[in-house]
Structure 1
């Protein structure tokens, strides 16, 4: 990877390895989100994708995730700019908004557990969707945001 690439190149100019390194491992993009079209809201649950390993906050089969979970979210530079529900701490969102990475980010701190230590990861609060029946989703709502066009 190029030295301090996140400060020197736009998101669209990153190599695949550099792009992946922007992820801080918080796991928030792996939480289940539902769109309530009637109320024009996005509802976030403390329920994580079935491939998400809640103990280490990583996808258990990252390489094959799109085959196993067809609606798995693939972040792109455009989506990093458009998805207002990404947390303010998200490396992709911050760089898309021309903001610096937080000091705990693994690229800055060298600590792969930086998001967890900073208290911004879903570690300890997310439950696998395999353990939660859909009819119980209402019990797992943690955030409701208005949809933005």
Structure 2
């Protein structure tokens, strides 16, 4: 008879996780790949419905994940020490949730066993955004969205 073993995200801190465990926390929602605007006076961050040109909008995954920072120098590499400092991480983000001591939601692939539940639950950006290839940077303010992020 085997003993029940807690999942790694309940027993390890973000900084204790292996690279594979860390990467598996990404639920594939695509929200972090949206262009965001910051009000320089208030620091408030606004999401747009404009995605990075590297994002595969149907799969909600980067088309060149390994080379993303070379192709998009402003692409941020998320690290355990940075998670609490990044104000724009979505409220549903597993990295943020775990850093705040919260549980992963039912639709997270690590809980559901399916990479489709994030889409089925309506959390992902699938079919909700356009690529930045089709939007002039000066038009980004026209694309601010009021989603619950």
TM-score by length of 1: 0.89
| Distance (Å, rounded) in 2 between the aligned partners of 1:38 and 1:84 | 15
Return the index of the structure with the highest Cα Rg: 2
> Which ranges of 4 or more aligned residues in structure 1 deviate by more than 6 Å?
none
1:50 aligns with 2:80: no
In 2, Cα distance between equivalents of 1:31 and 1:78 = 22
Query: 1:30-109, aligned counterparts within 5 Å?
Result: 30-109=33-112
Q: Per-residue deviation at 1:127?
A: 0.9
Cα distance in 2 between the residues matched to 1:71 and 1:87:
18
- Partner residue in 2 for 1:147: none
Identify unmatched segments of 5+ residues in structure 2.
Answer: none
What secondary structure, in the 3-state scheme, does the structure 2 residue paired with 1:142 have? coil
- Per-residue deviation at 1:4? 1.4
Aligned partner of 1:24 in structure 2 is 27
Q: Is the 8 A contact 1:29 1:73 kept in 2?
A: no
TM-score by length of 2: 0.89
Q: Which shifted more, 30-39 or 128-137?
A: 30-39
The residue aligned with 2:138 is 135
